Structure 1
Amino acid sequence: MKCYKNFTFIILASLILSSHLYNLVNADDSEVDDETAFSYKEETGKGPREWGKINPHWRVCGIGKLQSPIDLLNQRVQVLPALGKLKRDYKPAPAVVKNRGHDICVWWRGDAGKMNINGTVYKLLQCHWHTPSEHTFNGSSYEMELHLVHLSSDGKLAVTGIVYEYGRPDPFLSKLLHHIKSLGKEEKEVGIVNPGDIKFGSRKYYRYIGSLTVPPCTEGVIWTIGKKVRTVSREQVRALKEEVHDGYEKNARPTNELNGRPIWFYSPFHGEN
């Protein structure tokens, strides 16, 4: 009976991760680029608590039950070995660095590779940074979070998050820092950028179903958050804050209620040969 229950749970998890139980986000519902329409400061009247009222297309920001980010609390986590190791296959490709006002973004113009989740291929589109981190670990926030945004052939999104604390410079950001510091308000061709330089540092990760963390906050995004907290220098974080538009130096949305969602955790030391 115990084996049957475990098998049933794994099948249910697979169904959820395959998005049969959720309506996943489409590319048409991707992140808004006009940062003037929203703010991270509540005193402006356009802060996170008001996002759902600013635009009818952003209504889910206020009423959604699958919102991101969340607090990754140990007591809520379910270890699920069936998730398996992350299947990422990134490769160097031409890219631009873009100041979107509310964040700094690297957008790949060529084929930068992919990741595979539950048999579905998600192509890497872009990465961007939030300061401080948006996801928290057991209530603790960190200095920075990197998001890698992936798109499937049928328009669904999967985002990978990596959290950073102050320490040694991040090697990936080091290669882009001089471009970021001279970016201004435009986008800049930066040649070939290798997303493979972005390191997890551990095979352990969290997985849950959430949303975009900026308007329109569309739900159904498959989130993968690395367990290991990596390091970034103060200079690197300062450069990101100085280049975004005034008022967006702290561009992290507060955490949201879990609302009964499962958080899965993969570790190679749980049930893997």
Structure 2
Amino acid sequence: MTDDPTAEEPTHEQVAWGYDAESGPAVWGCLSTDYALCALGKHQSPINLVDPTPAAVAALAFNYRPTMLSIENNGHTVEVRSTNDNWIEVGDDSYELVQFHFHTPGEHTVAGQRFDMEIHLVHRNEAEELAVVGILVRRGNSHPLLELVAEHIPGRGQVRTLQHTMINAADLLPTERRSFRYEGSLTTPPCSEGVRWFVLETPIEASAAELAAFEAALGTNNRPVQALNGRKLLIEQESVPRG
């Protein structure tokens, strides 16, 4: 689905893309035939999360453990790589955590409300299919893990690895983990579809200083919301134990 299985958004160095008027979301589909889905796709992300249908679906099971902190600034986002065995389970399906990265401001909206930042935890199964958990972030109290990442964001095109600093992606999760669910796409070129999206309903908080650090590194790197085009948008009604 992607050229680089460790990234949600492949670099595609031969065709530059970004978020400004000349290379931003409005023209992604025109920059390369590889990016055609950005303009022509009918199952694109992000979307406005509004009027979901309650559904009795299997709860997300998070199996995260401490991993060494390694941060890459690839020029499009700040990405934290997963170096240990971390995964989620959705019913009988299992997806390994590959990386998580950041968008400022947020990409998905909830009933039209946009958040200060959004974190995408990108997972992949053995069939190379992607499942992304979206975490909405609003301005509020300091967040220890986000503070740590913000303090060590490297320069554009650089990687910073702290061999003696361990983090756990579970620390990003809100206590209440009910999720919106729908079938969508990558939110960056090549906008590949067939991505399972789980956007957690309850946001987490980050301080103004932490958000400012990400904004300074990322600028504006969010794609506008896309049309639902008849897709089903679900929200967990109740948890169903795994059989």
| Structure 2: tracts of 5 or more residues without a match | none
| 1:208 partner SS | strand
Distance 1:160 1:189, change over 3 A: same
Match of 2:32 in 1: 55
Q: Report the Cα distance in structure 2 between the residues aligned to 1:227 and 1:73, rounded to whole angstroms.
A: 11
Is the contact between residue 150 and residue 210 of structure 2 (CA under 8 Å) also seen in structure 1? yes
Deviation at 1:105, TM superposition (A): 0.7
Answer yes or no: is the 8 Å Cα contact 1:205–1:267 preserved in 2: no
User: Structure 2 length as normaliser, TM-score?
Assistant: 0.90
Higher helix share: 1
Aligned length: 235
Alignment equivalent of 1:260, drawn from 223, 230, 240: 230
In the alignment, what sits opposite 2:47? 70
Q: How far, CA to CA, are the matches of 1:204 and 1:264 in structure 2?
A: 11
Determine the C-alpha separation between the residues in 2 that align with 1:209 and 1:28. Answer: 21
Compute the displacement of 1:193 (Å): 2.1
SS in 1 for 2:136: strand
Note closer, same or farther for the CA distance 1:95–1:154 as it changes in structure 2 (3 Å cut).
farther
- Point out where structure 1 has 5 or more consecutive residues left out of the alignment: 1-24
Q: Deviations over 1:116-164 (max 9, x none)?
A: 1231110001000100110000111110000000010111100000111
Give 1:55's aligned amino acid: S
Name the residue aligned to 1:190.
162
Aligned positions of 1:1-273 closer than 5 A: 25=1, 30-33=8-11, 37-42=16-21, 44=22, 46-74=23-51, 77-81=52-56, 83-111=57-85, 113-180=86-153, 183-185=154-156, 186-191=158-163, 192-244=166-218, 249-268=219-238
Q: Comparing both structures, which one devotes a greater share of its residues to strand?
A: 2
Fraction of identical pairs, as percent: 33
CA distance in 2, matches of 1:174, 1:160: 20
Q: Deviations over 1:150-195 (max 9, x none)?
A: 0101111000001111111223212323212xx1231011232211
Q: CA deviation at 1:49?
A: 1.4
TM-score, normalised relative to structure 1: 0.81
| Cα distance in 1 between the residues matched to 2:195 and 2:113 | 23
Higher-Rg member (1/2): 1
CA distance in 1 between partners of 2:2 and 2:221 (Å): 23
Is the Cα–Cα contact under 8 Å of residues 27 and 151 in structure 1 kept in the other structure? no
> What do residues 20-62 of structure 1 show as CA deviations (whole Å, max 9, x unaligned)?
xxxxx466675122588112222x2x12111011011110000
Supply the AA of the counterpart residue of 2:225: T
Q: Deviations over 1:75-131 (max 9, x none)?
A: xx11111x12211111112241000111111012232x1001231110001000100
Structure 2 CA distance for partners of 1:178 and 1:271, relative to 1, 3 Å: closer
Tell me the amino acid that sits aligned with residue 135 of structure 1.
H
In the alignment, the residues of structure 2 paired with residue 27 and residue 261 of structure 1 have an alpha-carbon distance, to the nearest angstrom, of 27
